[in-house]
Amino acid sequence: LALSRLCIHYHSQWKAKAPNMVPRLSIQLHSLITQYLSVRDAFLEATPEEEKLRNPQHFRAYVDSGEEILGALLDASYEEANHMIQDAVAELAEVHSCYGVLYSLCEKTNDMQRLYQYMRMVQPFATYAFRKLIEAKRVRDILELPPEFNESLCVYLQQHSDQHHQELLWLHLARMQAWGDCTSLLESIANRIPTSEEKQRHLALSKLCKLAQNY
């Protein structure tokens, strides 16, 4: 890991001193990081679960290290517009479950179709993507996810009882035209809201959903 970090550091230095050497150095870095990730995965797989539970921070650092160095290589590949390295990084991120790198790759290119593809192919990347989209307040992108993610998004939102997730949940239920569930949820949210104006708004919305259910 230390060697990988050192090479990433020198990679940034070479960009100014000898830019013609950078593509070759990127290839060497990719090879080195590939070896490191393989060793990391083998080590984590061979470690008993009891040991991981005894020192979770220590083993979390091993997991995060892959994100760190692979993410740095991805950033470097964008600076030098090296599409070959970008694709190679994406492949490594898929194989070694570096979800942050996959998400960053889609975010940098604003490629939602690629994000959907990873959500289908890489498990459990969809759950990670839900969390990142919600943290970024990308409500439109959440509500425009393909129908195949409706159920898993519903389950994810139901697992979080805070108002932000619950507001997204009723919007999602309304999008799916699950009017009965939407009505019940809006009434439940209204009962937990201390502000009179917000309470009335949610109750009014629940009545509209009830009308839609009976339509």
pLDDT, one tens digit per residue, over 46-105 is 988 888 888 888 888 878 888 888 888 888 777 777 788 888 889 999 999 999 999 999
For residue 102 the two structure tokens come to 């996959």
Amino acid symbol at 47:
T
pLDDT > 70: percent of the chain:
88
Q: How far is CA 133 from CA 69, 107, 137, 138, 154, in A?
A: 23, 10, 6, 5, 14
Q: How many percent of the chain have pLDDT more than 90?
A: 51
Question: Average pLDDT of 141-164?
Answer: 95
> Has residue 6 got a pLDDT over 70?
no
Q: How confident is the model at residue 10 (pLDDT cuts 50, 70, 90)?
A: very low
Helices (H) and strands (E) in the chain, counts: 13, 0
Under a CB-based contact definition with an 8 Å cutoff, are residues 109 and 101 in contact?
A: no
